[in-house]
Amino acid sequence: MNSKMPKRALMAILFLALLGRNSWAQTQDDWDWVNKHFFTVLDELLPIKERLGFSLGYRSYHDLHVSELEFGFVFNRAPQAKHITVILRQPVDSSLYDQIMTAHRNNPNETIETIKKQLKLREQRLSEQTCRAVRTQFDEFYRLMLPMLSGKERREQRKGKFTITLHPRVHTFNADISGGSLNLVIGEQDHPFVEWANRTRKALENCASSSSNPRNTKQ
């Protein structure tokens, strides 16, 4: 039996190896490109601060787990306005990250400005006039206390231990407060601020589902 590999078979193996290497490089380039633009798009399409008036905003995304939908809401008390309003925002069908990735892979030459126009985002606007939870959750936030360490962290410190959470769901808050503003990023899921955000989201979505106001999808 001839132990030598046929020339054609060897060339085929080398070709497949090169193709696989190029595919990996292309995929890595895609990730790098999307990562470069993702947070700018997130800030623009899921803002947590209004341009005018007094605002309270929240947004979350899951680090590394890019298929999970991002979410955000922002309360606003505009000058001379009698009522507090809130806007809920969430991508439609797939995450903003995945939508950007798909568009970029389909046409790598498209700019991020062009891709932004293709992204699908759902907005729901509510007012305390029609949704009692708007005022209730807004007021509840300003009664919260900000703990510097959780009970779990204090217990671990006493034992000389600490916990690192890899790739958590990241929760970002921006609030106008007396004399200034609060900007906060939290990765602990049982933090009082995060628990408030989860309660608020549920309450507002309950209002939205029963509201006669139409849902708007931006493209």
**Bridge pairing between strands 71-77 and 54-62:** antiparallel
Residue 52: which of 77, 72, 83, 87 has the closest Cα? 77
Contact 112, 118 (CB under 8 A): no
Judge whether 174 and 55 are in contact, CB under 8 Å.
yes
DSSP string, 165-212: -SSPEEEEEEEEETTEEEEEEE--TT-HHHHHHHHHHHHHHHHHHH--
Helix (H, G, I), strand (E, B) or coil at 63: coil
Q: Lowest-pLDDT range, 11-25, 135-149, 186-200?
A: 11-25
pLDDT on residue 159? 83
Residue 177 scores a pLDDT above 70: yes
Look at residues 208, 157, 164, 206 and name the one whose alpha carbon lies nearest to residue 187.
164
Mean pLDDT of 179-200: 94
Q: What is the pTM of this model?
A: 0.81
Contact (CB, 8 A) for 194 and 186:
yes
Is 80 exceeded by the pLDDT of residue 165? no
Closest among 187, 151, 188, 149 to 170, alpha carbons compared: 187
Q: What is the mean pLDDT of residues 157-165?
A: 77
